[in-house]
Structure 1
Amino acid sequence: MWTTDKNFVKAGVKEIVGYPLSGGQAEWKIPLDGNLCWSSSYVTKEGQVAVLFENGKDSDPECTQVGVVDVHKGKLLWQKQAVDSWGDTMDFDEVTMGGGTVAAGGTSGGVAWSAEGRQLWAPGEDDQCDDEGYAGSEEKLVVVRECGDADPPALRVQTLDPASGEAKSTYKLPSGPEYVHVASVDPLLIGVDTGDAEPGASVTDFMTIDDSAAQGKLLSKIDILADAYELDCPAVNVDGCTEFALDKGTSTLYLGSDQTPDEQYDVGNKIVAFDLKTGKKTGQSKMEKGVALVPIGLDEKGAVLAYQEATTAGGGGVWRVDPKTFKTEKLLQHPADTAEMEGSFSSDRRLLYTGKKLYLGDDLARRRSADVSGDRPLAVIFGPGS
């Protein structure tokens, strides 16, 4: 789910659709061979997004198709698939764009293409490590590699040359973590799961890595499990952590505290700030009674934007948290009569706040199931006066 200057872009069933920013009928549609499996989280300066989708022509579709979409023009620029060293079509778990390279990874290994669709690398028969997944930005590409046959496996986080795939920096994790998620590539922030993570969070610790040298160095560590900080990372995928905010300029991480301490409900929580260089807390907001906040990004002045969860008592909203004083200000209040519908997006959701509007939608789209109301939309837009 993305926004551009002209459109709110959302995956539908076997398609990607561009809507007006204020909602309404679709302005363009991109048909896909199958359902969308994964996509890069940001839009490049060129208006491009990497997508992974099913080969819908097969009786048992798998996520084999990798492509690039231009969300400014509403056009699929290209789609490719890859074969392994045995000549079998590879299926992937995720895809991203980093430094102009499209990279897809999974249990079969990793493959990369240039932004124009030229294949750059693929798994070799004698490889000692598998590329589990990638994370990227406009300038950087990071991979998580699983090496050897140990249980749990030996894990490495590497910053790559996006054009060649050669490692520029390598951080070898100590034994213990079963999965690694890359929350940010610059600064390099990883979430590790030792197997004890809370359901939905999939992270026990956040670790900040200095990748300026060939050998990566641990800068700081934040214990997520001990204080039950709230965030959302996919169970096994490398990319895709959400519900946190990160100020790269000040190296400050913002997390939501436990929303239901002592098993109480509707008591609210706090937004807590951490210095990523030290791992120490630097401040926190005052708890508003009945207001559970989820950090979702920063505004143009560096203030934290936080989504207020809908409850049985009323609709959600959007708040601003001052990064210096930690005072809170409500920007949006959503209607009470849509609270139940709003709350139904509590899992596998995406949240975007831009242009004084909140875009809330399902992460992916499938055919409607029996446990979802027929009146429930794939996405909803809240704005002033809504």
Structure 2
Amino acid sequence: MTQPPPPPNQPPGQPPNQPPSGGFGAPHDPPAQGFGAPTPPPQNPGYGYPQTPPPAQPPGYGYPQAPGQPPTQPGGYPQQPGYGYPTAPMQQPVQGGTGGGKKLSAQMQIIIAAAVAVALIVVGGVWYASSGGEDAPTDNAKGSSGTTGSAEGGGKGGPDGPGQEKASGNTKAKVAFQVPLPEVTDLTDVNGSWVTDKAYVKSGVESVVGYDLDKGTPLWTTPLPGQVCAASRHVKDNKTAIVFEAAKRVPPKNFQPCTEVGVIDLTTGKLLWRKSVTGADAGDDKVSFDEVTIGATTVAAGGLDGGAAWDLTTGKELWKPQVNAEECEDRGYGGGEALVAARLCGPYDSAYLLIQNLDPKTGAPLSSFKMPAGVEDAGIVSTKPLVVAADVGDTAGDGSGISDFFSIDEKTGKLKVKIAADAERYAAECDSSGVEVCHRAVVGNNRLYLPTEDHEGGGEYGDTNEIVSFDLTTGKPTTDKADAGDRYSMFPLRMDGGNIIAYKKAPYDKGGQVVSIDGGTFKQTVLLENPSDKSVRSAEQSFVLDSAEIRYSDGRLFIADDLFDKPSDSSTDHKEYLAIGFTTH
């Protein structure tokens, strides 16, 4: 989906046509005991109840695909090896030991024909069950094997090892707390959600707040001089990084340059250090940044003015934007175990993009890969292994920003393989600007995991989809396939060892789920299922779930906005939510 240009100095991330969060319909009467029995934060005792969205539209449906039609499967996910019509073996003369060829006797031909018929029935039945035909299993908790994962969860996982997330005896969640949407006068960025063993941490209005995991009461609040603009998705030693404005917004402008980079201790909430730089395109002014990340032990921020970096612990400046002969600028960085830059070089009419694995201490390139001609924007999905997404030749056509994934050897900079990802088949997305801005795509077990687009399910009505994978060495689709189940739609959130943690968007009459997909067997284990009560469903589904900040850890699920606006005239009679927490504890 094509996104509108962001406001000045404001990072992207707002999905197209996004309504003010929660601004749907008239308020719904809460249950007698209150919605989730929240404990209000001291600064805002006016906790409310989730509103009711407009009546749910029936999921799109049509004639289900006729069973037994193998190659073109709904949604276009890769044809899995071994699926499809089996081919009967040709009859060959049976060779005798020493006497040459002999024709089959009539009795033997009957026996072989019967055996072939049985084989066809068995193999055909395996294909039919796997292809999502009308009689295929539709339990949303079942994986591609048609069996539910063990209650203990975890599993052996894939090559990257077992996961840490395990299902408890109770997977039915309840509402832990809700954080009301703050009052603002204009579009406000609230990028950033993190979970520690003690707190759910969320960016707010000119602040970052740590909330008790189960009660929602503030444990600490870190005031900031201006609004948060961007936040790292990575945490290192319980620290994370943010970009924020140096001063409060003043109407009617309501925006300030995003010049300040800081590191927050997620245990105490302390702002450990705050830095800014000048130079390059910004001249004597402070450099503005669009995004920030943590790679290895380095905090790196990038944008249209170039990139800068600091030591995570000390805040020591490691490098800042400089003009060079090649006119290169670091547009942004991908973090995690390594630090990778997307570096745009050359004059405007002949610019080219380099993907460079950096020495995190000096910024010196360890390897470099030149993206195809015409590609000036790329999303770094993973730094180790190095996987980059881009829209080559503007061929994606759907605003997803992805036509291909590039698997790159981070040591040599050589391309391992390019994976074509038809935008009509796969549902991953990279924001229109930025570098570490891709969603619904994760990397692990030397594989790239993607959700398919929604398509007709096997039941009477309702859409569904799958998570599939590609081998990062060969670029070929694997046999991995996890079915969301009728009327559910799933996408990966993150890796957990060799397992995939995925969120399942529920139909209008159910609560969402979190599942763990074993990276070895691809069996699914339900870790958490939200209540199906109307008031809770309305609150969960009021978020734009494809782009919301969704975090899961140890039996707790948190859903939050990353951007919101002042309430519309039609939504002033009911409460809206910045974040909601669910728990199985």
Both proteins in one fold, TM over 0.5: yes
Q: Classify 1:348/1:14 alpha carbon distance in 2 versus 1 (closer, same or farther; 3 Å).
A: farther
Residues 249-301 of structure 1: CA distance to partner in whole angstroms, max 9, x if unpaired? Answer: x2122111111469x9831111102211111111212451111111112335x
The 5 A counterparts of 1:212-361 are: 212-213=411-412, 216-247=413-444, 250-260=445-455, 266-282=462-478, 283-300=480-497, 302-336=498-532, 337=534, 338-346=536-544, 348-361=547-560
Q: Classify 1:151/1:258 alpha carbon distance in 2 versus 1 (closer, same or farther; 3 Å).
A: farther
- Give the letter aligned to residue 373 of structure 2: S
Shift of 1:198: 5.5
Shift of 1:24: 1.7
Q: Classify 1:152/1:180 alpha carbon distance in 2 versus 1 (closer, same or farther; 3 Å).
A: farther
Q: Say if 1:152 and 1:178, in contact at 8 Å, map to a contact too.
A: no
Query: 1:27 maps to which residue?
Result: 219
Q: Distance in 2 between matches of 1:265 and 1:186?
A: 41
Tell me, what secondary structure is at the counterpart of 1:123?
A: coil
- Give the letter aligned to residue 244 of structure 2: F
* Alignment match of 1:95 (pick from 292, 299, 312): 292
Q: Say if 1:133 and 1:143, in contact at 8 Å, map to a contact too.
A: yes
TM-score when scaled to structure 2?
0.61
The 5 A counterparts of 1:1-386 are: 1-44=193-236, 46-57=237-248, 59=250, 60-85=255-280, 86-115=283-312, 116-127=314-325, 128-137=327-336, 139-151=337-349, 153-194=351-392, 195-197=394-396, 199=398, 201-213=400-412, 216-247=413-444, 250-260=445-455, 266-282=462-478, 283-300=480-497, 302-336=498-532, 337=534, 338-346=536-544, 348-364=547-563, 366=564, 368-370=566-568, 374-384=574-584
Tell me, what secondary structure is at the counterpart of 2:577?
A: coil
Q: Say if 2:206 and 2:226, in contact at 8 Å, map to a contact too.
A: yes
Q: Say if 2:344 and 2:376, in contact at 8 Å, map to a contact too.
A: no
Query: 2:84 maps to which residue?
Result: none
Tell me, what secondary structure is at the counterpart of 2:278?
A: coil
- Give the letter aligned to residue 53 of structure 1: F
Larger Rg: 2
Residues 199-232 of structure 1: CA distance to partner in whole angstroms, max 9, x if unpaired? Answer: 563222111100212xx11112222225531123
Q: Which moved more, 1:238-247 or 1:19-28?
A: 238-247
- Give the letter aligned to residue 292 of structure 2: V
Q: Say if 2:456 and 2:462, in contact at 8 Å, map to a contact too.
A: no
Shift of 1:169: 0.5
Higher strand share: 1
Q: Distance in 2 between matches of 1:378 and 1:152?
A: 43
Name stretches of at least 5 consecutive residues in structure 1 with no aligned partner: none
Residues 123-182 of structure 1: CA distance to partner in whole angstroms, max 9, x if unpaired? Answer: 223352011001112x42110011112447300000111111111100011213241010
Q: Say if 1:311 and 1:339, in contact at 8 Å, map to a contact too.
A: no
Residues 80-129 of structure 1: CA distance to partner in whole angstroms, max 9, x if unpaired? Answer: 11111421221111111112221111111111122212222122233520
Tell me, what secondary structure is at the counterpart of 1:378?
A: strand
Shift of 1:383: 2.5
Q: Distance in 1 between matches of 2:317 and 2:571?
A: 40
Q: Say if 2:402 and 2:423, in contact at 8 Å, map to a contact too.
A: no
Q: Say if 2:384 and 2:410, in contact at 8 Å, map to a contact too.
A: no
Q: Distance in 1 between matches of 2:399 and 2:226?
A: 27
Tell me, what secondary structure is at the counterpart of 1:87?
A: coil
TM-score when scaled to structure 1?
0.90
**More relative contact order, 1 or 2 (CA 8 Å, 6+ apart):** 2
Q: Say if 1:13 and 1:367, in contact at 8 Å, map to a contact too.
A: no
Q: Classify 1:326/1:135 alpha carbon distance in 2 versus 1 (closer, same or farther; 3 Å).
A: same
Q: Classify 1:71/1:83 alpha carbon distance in 2 versus 1 (closer, same or farther; 3 Å).
A: same
Q: Which moved more, 1:124-133 or 1:266-275?
A: 124-133
Q: Say if 1:18 and 1:74, in contact at 8 Å, map to a contact too.
A: yes
Q: Say if 2:235 and 2:294, in contact at 8 Å, map to a contact too.
A: no
Aligned residues: 376
Q: Distance in 2 between matches of 1:154 and 1:332?
A: 45
Q: RMSD between aligned alpha carbons? A: 2.3
Q: Classify 1:17/1:372 alpha carbon distance in 2 versus 1 (closer, same or farther; 3 Å).
A: farther
Q: Which moved more, 1:290-299 or 1:101-110?
A: 290-299
